[in-house]
Amino acid sequence: MISCSKEAFFKYANKDFVMPARTFSEVNCEDNLLIMPCFVYYCIGLKVVTSYPSNHNTDSAVTHGLVLINDRETGNLLSIINAQF
């Protein structure tokens, strides 16, 4: 995992990626959905996050997220990562 993170920082520092603008959609008056794609040489990453500040008075978390990693050549799913924070 550390070598993967190290490689990601090098790619970021060298601007060796394509990161289109994130898509932001208002679900309710203060609750939101964000979709964030990113492409590198060998894979496609997609992060999907919901932000529900209205949950602050409930047992549900305010933020939920998921990251999908796909092979850039075949589209095969490589990883599903819980991105709740």
72 burial (CB, 10 Å; 0-12 / 13-18 / 19+) is: middle
Q: In this structure, is residue 26 part of a structural domain?
A: yes
Q: In this structure, is residue 29 part of a structural domain?
A: yes
Q: In this structure, is residue 6 part of a structural domain?
A: no
Q: Which CATH number goes with the domain that contains 25?
A: 3.30.1780.10
Residue by residue, pLDDT tens for the chain (85 residues) are 567 677 777 788 888 888 999 999 999 889 999 999 999 888 999 999 999 998 888 999 999 999 999 999 999 999 999 988 6
Per the structure, the complete domain to which residue 65 belongs is given by 18-82
pLDDT, residue 11, reads 80
Q: In this structure, is residue 73 part of a structural domain?
A: yes
Q: In this structure, is residue 9 part of a structural domain?
A: no
Q: In this structure, is residue 3 part of a structural domain?
A: no
Q: In this structure, is residue 1 part of a structural domain?
A: no
Query: How many domains does the chain fold into?
Result: 1
